[in-house]
Amino acid sequence: MKKKTIVLAFALLISIFSLSGCNQAAAQPTPDSQATVSAAVAATQAVPNTQATIDASVQATLQAQQDMQTAIDQAVQATLAAQPTPEYSNLSEEELAALIDEAVTQAIAASEQAATATTSTASDGTVTTEEVTYTYTYVYDTAYAVAYAEELIAAYYEYYGEYAETALTELQQIEDDLNAISDSMEEITVILEQGAEAATAAVEQLNAAAAQAQAQVAQAQEKTQGWQQEVQASLQAREESILNMAPTDIATDRAGAINQAHDFLESFKTAMGDGKFSPQELQNIGQLSANLRASFEGMGISGGEFGNISGMAENLTRQAARGDWGRAKTSMGEFERNLPERGGRPSRP
């Protein structure tokens, strides 16, 4: 554009001076030289300003990039808004495991779509601005889907990491696959952020990153199927172990049995203070539960004015073993309302 502008200006000047020479030869009146120069300058200024054209082009490019980023941000926000935000302390281990399973499945699906979009974009060896926007949206959706699944996994570690060893081994492998997928998406993102021209130059790198993501997706799918089975097996084994503990202290009178129930309740409340039981706390709860149940059942004092203290203690113990914190909070209140005061006096309504 700059070269063409200069050529046009010089062509106009040459034409003006050529005409001037012809007029002098024809003995016409001598033209006003200042007017000639002014006309040439005016003609030059009439050509669009080169720098202004460049600035306008740059501004248009920046605006296009901003528009693309706005579209991406909107897509990301929509993805985040669609994700549930549970209160983890109210979820049982089984419920949290189900959420993880669903989130990982969604992350895998998003990863497949992003990898497919990347491969399609790079298939002809040229990447356009529209293709960058199209692929970028899928990549960002995947990034947030993976991040959400990893958030749930972190919550599982926090609440059950101390005693869910078998299930955690499977889960750790799934998390490793998600991290690898995230790395591939990050690699694609870095390329796309540089624009269509840079993406075109890095077509082979885009294809390699997409292929790597696909490979990790296949591994994650296989591991996810086995993880849920491990969770169920772990829950069942823990429940049976805690509920089948042998009593070590059986009360010999009603007051002693009621005191054992109070000890159980106080220990349960203390353990629930942080919304979870450590393995040691769970063992202690299981032992206190076994003792009071043996005492109440041995003396036949469940039912009547005392309610089913033994049955409620068993239910609370089962909920603790399964990490069913939300229901345990409700059951603990019911247990306390039915529990007589220490020493054997019935509790006030």
Q: How many other CB atoms are found less than 10 A from the CB of residue 57?
A: 11
Strand, coil or helix: what is 318? Answer: helix
Domain spans of the chain, in order of start: 2-47, 70-240, 254-338
pLDDT (mean) for 312-319? 94
pLDDT-above-70 percentage for the chain: 70
pLDDT in tens, 236-247: 999 999 999 999
Q: Closest Cα partner for 241 from 249, 233, 230? A: 233
The predicted structure's pLDDT at residue 187: 92
The predicted structure's pLDDT at residue 211: 92
The span from the CA of 241 to the CA of 235, in Å, is: 10
Q: Is the pLDDT of residue 46 over 90?
A: no
The CA R_g of the chain, rounded to the nearest whole Å, is: 38
The predicted structure's pLDDT at residue 87: 77
The span from the CA of 157 to the CA of 171, in Å, is: 9
**The tokens of 311 are what?**
């049955």
The span from the CA of 118 to the CA of 205, in Å, is: 10
Q: How confident is the model at residue 159 (pLDDT cuts 50, 70, 90)?
A: confident
The predicted structure's pLDDT at residue 64: 55
CATH numeric code, 70-240: 1.20.1420
Q: Is the pLDDT of residue 2 over 60?
A: no
Residues 6+ apart with CB under 8 A from 4: none
The span from the CA of 317 to the CA of 346, in Å, is: 23
Q: Where are the beta strands (DSSP E) in the chain?
A: none
pLDDT in tens, 329-342: 899 999 998 888 88
The span from the CA of 147 to the CA of 170, in Å, is: 18
The span from the CA of 169 to the CA of 223, in Å, is: 10
Residue 94 and residue 326 in contact, taking contact as beta carbons nearer than 8 Å: no
Bigger pLDDT: 23 vs 295: 295
Residue 265 and residue 313 in contact, taking contact as beta carbons nearer than 8 Å: no
pLDDT in tens, 237-283: 999 999 999 999 999 888 999 999 999 999 999 998 887 788 899 99
Whole-prediction pTM value? Answer: 0.69
DSSP per-residue letters across 161-224: TTT-HHHHHHHHHHHHHHHHHHHHHHHHHHHHTT-HHHHHHTHHHHHHHHHHHHHHHHHHHHHH
Residue 217 and residue 109 in contact, taking contact as beta carbons nearer than 8 Å: no
Q: Is the pLDDT of residue 34 over 50?
A: yes
